[in-house]
Amino acid sequence: MEPVVELLPDHVRVEPFYYPTLPRVSFEELARLIAIRLQERPGGRRLLAGCSFGGAVAQMVALLQPGCLDGLFLVVTFNHEAEAFASMLGRAAVKVLPDFVLRPVTRALARWKLAGGLDEESNERFLKSITSVDPRLLAARLAMLKGFDVRARLGEIKIPVDVVYSSDDPISASPAQLEGWKRLPEGRVSGVKGGHVAQRQAPEDIARLLLAWIERVTGAK
């Protein structure tokens, strides 16, 4: 979300959350850690934004720790397991392939499903950032998403939720994902032009939607 954050006015304070680099971690543990961070805030509204996998985690925070949130902003994410075949392929690769070929495989998978639509320079920068992560850690995150499906519980999220999907993204723009968001009582869905890394392709549009969401939740312009 860095390209988006750079466009926000000074009065909007953003506190990033970095996931612990543990081989095994659960949604419940991540939700609890984020809830603790939110509850440590001295005052004011507690707003949470999540992109892609982070959006899945953010939904779990809203479901498992509902008292710590006043609003949710979800970018190019999903409400049920997305691209199950790609996830399965990534998990299987880690199990059967030697270490020296895992990074090229990770790069190929990222280029296949995530990096579409970026210009050449941004594409290469994105792929380098993906392959700099331990492939086994990525596989552990993919394993968390196996069977992920919160559609039946979205009605429990009573706070204002803005969902941003990307028009050329096979994950967030799939008809099944868009249909799922209709279950949010206070949901609002908007689209931007781009692929799965829309935060790099349409940062101005996402920043505009983010500010509108903040105004919606807080009433402050």
Mean pLDDT, rounded, for 98-105: 47
pLDDT at 101 (0 to 100):
42
Angle subtended by helix axes 135-144 and 99-113, to nearest 10: 50
Domains of the chain: 2-81+149-218 (3.40.50.1820), 84-142 (no CATH)
Give the pLDDT band (50/70/90) at residue 147.
confident
Q: Which two tokens stand for residue 198?
A: 């829309």
Which of 17, 53, 54, 20 minimizes the C-alpha distance to 34?
17
Per-residue pLDDT reduced to its tens digit, 52-92 = 888 999 999 999 998 899 999 999 999 998 765 455 444 44
Give the pLDDT band (50/70/90) at residue 93.
very low
Alpha-carbon Rg for the chain, nearest whole angstrom, is 17
Q: pTM (2 decimals)?
A: 0.78
Answer yes or no: is pLDDT of 105 > 50. no
Which of 24, 76, 118, 140 minimizes the C-alpha distance to 129?
118
